[in-house]
Structure 1
């Protein structure tokens, strides 16, 4: 990805119909918040100021409102922008002669993920309380197994598949924040070696 991805997304946000608007009972992302964030992302990318990173884009969140931008459209645009920021950092590391350091760091992060996911099935993450809800254990374990096969065996898995992973809720399920943090770490490793 290059500057074109960020410019294309920013161009989309320039007009009133940049993204589809959520209709009916659907809620969408607050339009002004999205437009402001995307403008800041474009400015940061073009000036290479370092004010925003791929991680900042990945964790961006917006209030949900009636008449907001369709969530899927915005999330897809954010994914392209995150890819562009990550690609720039990777290219800079290679250009500056830090490719080996970049690869070693990605390998170390991948090993941390593999070590965490080596825990027994149904025990990979802390659980929500008995009366609290968390992510459904079997669904998270399925995605975790795919991550392991990707990192260990080179099986196919895309960043988009991890970004769109969604889990149903269950009582005493896995704690959401731990699962989300691991998914973010896996995405970061995937973007580093892409």
Structure 2
């Protein structure tokens, strides 16, 4: 997809009811408006990464989180496709694939570390991502990159980990997931 026109208008999002919380409508609307304007101007005011890391306050009566997250995923895909198309036009498809292959190898090298030691740990009094759950996702990433097993961008975007004392550092895990998503979007 390379057109933001197919994304739902902000008013198309369901509002949560009762005590349920959702994304703050004005914050979501402002971000989506800025993303649409940037995409239509074909400038670099926003990137796929900016869309991926966007966050919004939670409020009662806000937009349904799953619906907004799905829309953000489509918008991120559109920005990534635009970058890919630009690079292929400028450098050629072979150079683009080689760059993606190199980035995939960096990820594979990182994930070759021993089980339960793939990322730095937080201190024992601090909570981090549950290591065995992260290692499970890491194995799926390796099988995708090395063997071509199925794994979708949406599965990585929605990956959630329980917390544990002495777990993996969230920032490192999130950075690797982001890098993997970028590789996946590069070769779509």
- TM-score range (shorter-chain normalised) is over 0.9
Spell out, residue by residue over 1:72-109, the C-alpha distance to the aligned partner (whole angstroms, 9 max, x if none).
11000000000111111112222334322211211111
Partner of 1:146: 140
Once residues 25 and 157 of structure 1 are traced to their aligned partners in structure 2, the CA distance between those partners, rounded to angstroms, is 35
**Counterpart check, 1:136 vs 2:133:** no
1:26–1:192 distance in 2 versus 1, CA, 3 Å: same
Unaligned residue ranges in structure 2 (runs of 5+) = none
Would you say 1:171 and 2:169 are equivalent positions? no
Task: Tell me, yes or no, if structure 1 residue 2 matches structure 2 residue 2.
Answer: yes
1:173 shift after superposition: 1.0
Matched pairs, number: 188
The CA RMSD measured in Å over matched residues stands at 1.2
Q: Deviations over 1:116-156 (max 9, x none)?
A: 10000000011111011111111100000000010111111
Distance in structure 1 (CA, Å) of the matches to 2:54 and 2:79: 14
Unmatched tracts of structure 1, length 5 or more? none
Q: Which has the larger displacement, 87-96 or 154-163?
A: 87-96
Q: Does 1:185 align with 2:141?
A: no
Tell me the residue number matched to 2:9: 12
Runs of 4+ in 1 over 3 A off after TM superposition: none
